[in-house]
């Protein structure tokens, strides 16, 4: 192995999570431990756009303590983006610019933290630099609350969002059950194509306070069947709790949210924006004649660091640290991934997935982890997800409020 | 003082909070400490309805450890109700029944935990029992996330909901600010007439991560002014965060939520249900042409025991314990209340407010605690609210999920 001396850059991309900054902490703290090889550590301002604009923060000028506070700070501290660089066969401008900035700054370690698209970015960067014979080790760090990344047992960000959802639903269960009044509550969880987060609602059921019905985007949704399912639950008790993915679709592939909301227009003739939870709750009110609530977890579920999973935080840090260690040992062109060697006891091993195998693919919930009626997840799903929400969050408090990392973010 | 030997009953009423069960714990644990005077301890099943139906839980048969877990269990463990007993000059049926059940069970201590309406119930019960010469000490324990109870500096339930809101908003702040994309987020907080909870959003501003604009129901709302306020914020930064009360009203007294939603009907011709946050977000999208999100905290804000305030929990327990102690010493016909002897250092003293002084009154945010533009709260509001969100929640965890109290709830 050649000892590749140079600088490191790390960027965050796509939708934030509660622990994306934990991976940042992992990368930064590990990189700082190797000053003989990694000289300067940079953070991309708003992901790959930070490279294109040559706007990089000098992480070496941050206080170490503040970098540790990143483990209790949600969202993308460096800024994120959704920029997708062009394919080099169509337009080389972006890649040429990336090469130019990396070379100018002698950056030899390129780290990018994100989902499918980000792995695609990593792959393009790696191939381009190789073609230009610029030596640079490219590592993808996985991240997504949706847990839909291919090639890894699970993904940093998912466990924390899952824990937040399960905790919140268990609490609302108590609220709803304290009345005699018949009521339906529809929870809306993130997930356009993959129902991992919505399925995680079932974890609240482990302590007996979960939803009665769960509908994932993996199974075609039928509103009449949902109403009938709810009616059956209401024969046994006065409250029905339902979790749905934002991305549920009918048999013909249309988004339920769009179908229902297209029927409603405001006074200006615009389509009413409206989450699928509120829309389905309206339908239940109409058809079952009871009190309803639609609760959309919206951004809350992906940034609730105050309810993060300790396991998720540790693994997010581990992904970052392992990535740096691997790169120092010569690895390049991979995404850091997790493997679970056995169902029990839970243990998480680091593996490397070639970028080409993970980029632009999506992992949905296996059909066999959803019950045959398509209205709940199976025990196998719960056994999979429960270990991922263990351990307390790392959020410190000051004045009754979270003590977030205060980075200086000095452009360097 | 006569030593009044007999039984005690405690009930929970109105909307749940994160700490109403902490007051229950306070009452139960203190009552259990006086077995020479208080022989049996009962819990009303669904508030006053439990007395009317003679459905009372025997708290003496619960495990002490489980009663302690009540401090981390949100909502009304005994069940709640919104039943309003008739005035005795109109219909004595309810009060006659209450008297009958209390007498049959030799209940000499009547505790009721709730808001304005519940204090009214206490008052009616007390007067009726006095008229019938049935000796029974009647104590009201305050509770409401809305903080609108008259006669007390603040109210158990408020601090926890405030802490949850401030924490969540500070987290969403990080999420929203991580993008370059211009965006408006409207948060909807509870409060039909009083803006205490919405005002508490400003606590997130203490650490620099609060909303930019806050609109309370105490000040008439003007949507055009809100759009202009938002536009001004967007001149300085790319994200504007706005907190509004569900109960904001226009100058003519109409609810903004109803005004905006009455313009929208669904395909069945029904009014679209829709929180004011989503409706205002739509307006901002229309008029400022940017990405928007409406985030309604819905039930989450009143049952998020996982983010409760330690101070709130302690005070809720204290209210319960103090009520029992006071009743044992002969006090009756009062609501337990809090007094703050000085602004600093924060300290909370127990006081007694005659039920007649607090029942059916509402305490709103003083106009001078809202800025002159009517779009934020003043430092005085923050100084008032900040001490109430201090201290960590008491929620224990098992398996990564909250360990809620498991009461046997045996009818006795």
List the single range of A307-316, A353-362, B10-19, B114-123 with lowest mean pLDDT. A353-362
pLDDT of B274 over the 90 cut? no
- Which helix (H) or strand (E) element contains residue B51? helix B48-52
Q: B203 and A401: CB-CB below 8 Å?
A: yes
Residue of A nearest to B160 (CA): A400
Contact A215, A244 (CB under 8 A): yes
Q: Would A6-156+305-361+390-402 and A160-301 be classified into the same CATH topology?
A: yes
Express each pLDDT in A273-322 by its tens digit: 458 999 999 999 999 999 999 999 999 999 999 999 999 999 999 999 99
Contact (CB, 8 A) for B230 and B242: yes
| Inter-chain CB proximity B282 and A303 less than 8 Å | no
Q: Which of A94, A120, A146, A229 is catalytic?
A: A146
- Region B386-399: mean pLDDT is 95
- Distance, in Å, from the CA atom of A412 to the CA atom of A43, rounded to the nearest integer, reads 9
Q: Which residues, at least 6 apart from A6, have a Cβ–Cβ distance to it below 8 Å?
A: A37, A38, A39, A106, A107, A108, A109
Tokens of B387: 């001490």
Angstrom distance (rounded) from CA A336 to CA B328? 65
* Residues B273, A281: C-beta atoms closer than 8 Å: yes
Residue tagged active-site, from B120, B146, B148, B312: B146
Count of beta carbons in the 10 Å neighbourhood of residue B379: 10
> Which pairing describes strands B183-189 and B213-215: parallel, antiparallel, or unpaired?
unpaired
For the ranges A10-19, A270-279, A323-332, B378-387, which has the lowest average pLDDT?
Answer: A270-279
- Would you place residue A263 in the very low, low, confident or very high pLDDT band (cuts 50, 70, 90)? low
Question: What's chain B's average pLDDT?
Answer: 94
pLDDT confidence band for A68 (50 / 70 / 90): very high
CA pair distance A204, B401, nearest whole angstrom: 7
Q: What is the pLDDT of residue B1?
A: 60
CATH number, domain B161-301, options 3.20.20.10, 1.25.60.10, 3.40.50.460, 3.50.50.60 = 3.40.50.460
Model confidence pLDDT, tens digit, residues B40-65 = 999 999 999 999 999 999 999 999 99
A296-309: string of b/e by CB count within 10 Å (b at 16+)? bbbbbbbbbbbbbb
Q: Which chain B positions have a beta carbon within 8 Å of A286's beta carbon?
A: 268, 270
Return the number of other C-beta atoms located less than 10 Å from residue A252's C-beta: 7
pLDDT given at position A355: 95
Give residue limits of the domains in chain A: 6-156+305-361+390-402, 160-301
Architecture of domain B6-145+305-361+390-402: 3-Layer(aba) Sandwich (3.40)
Q: Which of A11, A178, A284 to mutate to test the interface with B (most CBs of B within 10 A)?
A: A178
Query: What residues form DSSP beta bridges with B185?
Result: B241, B293
- Name the pTM for this structure: 0.97
ipTM: 0.96
- Residue A310: CB atoms within 10 Å: 19
Q: What is the pLDDT of residue A264?
A: 53
The pLDDT of residue A172: 98
Q: What's the sign of the alpha-carbon dihedral A45, A47, A50, A53? A: negative
Angle at A19 (CA atoms; ends B239, A169), nearest 5 degrees: 85
Report how far residue A58's alpha carbon sits from residue A299's, in angstroms, rounded to the nearest whole number: 29
Q: Which of B81, B178, B309 sits opposite A400 (nearest CB)?
A: B309
Q: Following DSSP, what letter does each residue of A325-386 receive, concatenated?
A: HHHHTT--SEEEEEE-S-SSS---EEEEEEHHHHTT---PPPGGGB-TTSSSB-HHHHHHHG
- Euclidean distance between CA atoms A384 and A146, whole angstroms: 15
Query: Using a CB-CB distance cutoff of 8 angstroms, which residues of chain B are in contact with residue A400?
Result: 163, 166, 203, 309, 311, 386, 389-391
Give the residue from A163, A153, A109, A396 showing the smallest Cα distance to A301.
A163
The per-residue pLDDT for B259 is 83
Instruction: Give the strand pairing for B56-58 and B38-44.
Output: antiparallel
Q: What is the pLDDT of residues B60-74, one digit of tens each?
A: 999 999 999 999 999
Q: What top-level class would CATH report for the domain A6-156+305-361+390-402?
A: alpha beta
Instruction: Give the separation between CA B265 and CA B147, rounded to whole angstroms.
Output: 34
**Which of A359-368, B6-15, B245-254 shows the lowest per-residue confidence on average (mean pLDDT)?**
A359-368
Give the pLDDT confidence of A334-355 residue by residue, as tens digits: 999 999 999 899 999 999 999 9
The answer to whether residue A189 scores a pLDDT higher than 50 is: yes
Kindly report, residue by residue over A28-51, the tens digit of the pLDDT: 999 999 999 999 999 999 999 999
Which tens digit of pLDDT belongs to each residue from B62-111?
999 999 999 999 999 999 998 989 988 999 999 999 999 999 999 999 99
The pLDDT value recorded for residue A262 is 62
Of A124, A147, A235, A254, the C-alpha closest to A195 is A147
- Model confidence at B268, in pLDDT bands (50, 70, 90)? very low
Q: Which of A203, A400, A403 sits opposite B391 (nearest CB)?
A: A400
Q: Would you call A171 and B75 a contact, using CB atoms and an 8 Å cutoff?
A: yes
Instruction: Please say whether the beta carbons of B176 and B390 come within 8 A.
Output: no
| Contact assignment for A175 to B299 by CB distance below 8 Å | yes
Per-residue pLDDT averaged across B376-387, rounded? 98
In the residue annotation, B36 being an active-site residue is answered as: no
Q: Is residue A2 predicted with pLDDT exceeding 90? A: no
Q: Distance, in angstroms, between A273 CA and closest chain B CA?
A: 7
Q: How far is the alpha carbon of B394 from chain A, nearest alpha carbon, in Å? A: 13
Of B363, B347, B280, B258, give the one whose Cα is nearest residue B311: B347
Question: Which of B77, B278, B307 faces A273 most closely, judged by CB atoms?
Answer: B278
Contact A299 B266 (CB under 8 A): no
Judge: B389–A401 Cβ closer than 8 Å, yes or no. Answer: yes
Let me know the angle formed at the C-alpha of A349 by A65 and A387, rounded to the nearest 5 degrees.
80
> Quick check: A34 and A1 in contact, CB under 8 A?
no
SS3 content of chain B, % helix, strand, coil (to 5): 40, 20, 40
Domain boundaries A160-301, corresponding CATH code: 3.40.50.460
Percent of chain A scoring above 70 in pLDDT? 97
Interface size between A and B, measured as CB pairs under 8 A: 218
pLDDT of A323 higher than 60: yes
pLDDT tens column, A92-138: 999 999 999 999 999 999 999 999 899 999 999 999 999 999 999 99
Distance of CA B344 to the CA centre of its chain: 24
* Residue A275 with chain B: CB contacts under 8 Å: 278
Chain B residues whose beta carbon lies within 8 Å of the beta carbon of residue A46: 179-180
Closest CA to A109 of A186, A201, A38: A38
B112 vs B100: CA distance, rounded Å: 18
Mean pLDDT of A373-391: 98
CA distance B333 to B326: 11
pLDDT tens-digit readout, B288-347? 999 999 999 999 999 999 999 999 999 999 999 999 999 999 999 999 999 999 989 999
């Amino acid at each position: 192995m050649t000892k590749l001396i140079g600088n490191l850059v790390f960027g965050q991309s796509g939708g934030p999570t509660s622990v994306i900054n934990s991976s940042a902490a992992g990368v930064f703290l590990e990189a700082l431990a190797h000053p003989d090889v990694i000289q300067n550590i940079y953070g991309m301002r708003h992901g790959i756009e930070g490279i294109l604009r040559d706007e990089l923060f000098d992480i070496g000028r941050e206080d170490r303590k503040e970098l540790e506070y990143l483990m209790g700070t949600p969202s993308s501290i460096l800024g994120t983006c959704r920029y997708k660089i062009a394919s080099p066969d169509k337009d080389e401008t972006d890649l040429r610019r990336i090469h130019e900035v990396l070379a100018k700054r002698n950056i030899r370690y390129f780290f990018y933290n994100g989902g499918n698209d980000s792995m695609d970015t990593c792959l393009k960067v790696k191939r381009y630099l190789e073609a230009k014979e610029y030596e640079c080790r490219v590592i993808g760090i996985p991240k997504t609350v949706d847990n839909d990344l291919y090639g890894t047992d699970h993904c940093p960000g998912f466990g924390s969002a899952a824990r937040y959802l399960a905790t919140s639903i268990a609490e609302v269960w108590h609220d709803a059950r304290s009345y005699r009044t018949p009521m339906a509550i529809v929870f809306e969880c993130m997930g356009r194509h993959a129902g991992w987060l919505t399925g995680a609602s079932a974890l609240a059921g482990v302590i007996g306070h979960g939803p009665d019905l769960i509908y994932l985007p993996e199974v075609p949704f039928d509103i009449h069947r949902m109403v009938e399912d709810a009616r059956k639950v209401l024969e046994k008790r006065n409250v029905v709790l339902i979790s749905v993915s934002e991305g549920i679709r009918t048999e013909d592939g249309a988004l339920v949210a769009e179908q229902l909301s297209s029927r409603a227009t405001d006074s200006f003739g615009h389509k009413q924006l409206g989450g699928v939870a509120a829309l389905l709750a309206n339908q239940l009110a109409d058809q079952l004649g009871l009190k309803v609530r639609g609760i959309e977890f919206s951004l809350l579920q992906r940034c609730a660091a105050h309810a993060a999973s300790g396991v998720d935080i540790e693994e997010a840090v581990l992904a970052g640290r392992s990535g740096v260690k691997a790169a120092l040992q010569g690895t390049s062109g991979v995404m850091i991934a997790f493997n679970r060697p056995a169902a029990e006891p839970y243990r998480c091993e680091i593996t490397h997935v070639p970028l080409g195998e993970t980029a632009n693919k999506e992992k949905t919930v296996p059909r066999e982890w959803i019950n045959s009626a398509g209205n709940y997840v199976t025990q196998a799903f719960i056994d999979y997800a429960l270990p991922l929400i263990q351990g307390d969050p790392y959020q410190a408090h000051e004045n009754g409020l979270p003590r977030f990392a205060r980075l200086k973010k000095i452009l360097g």
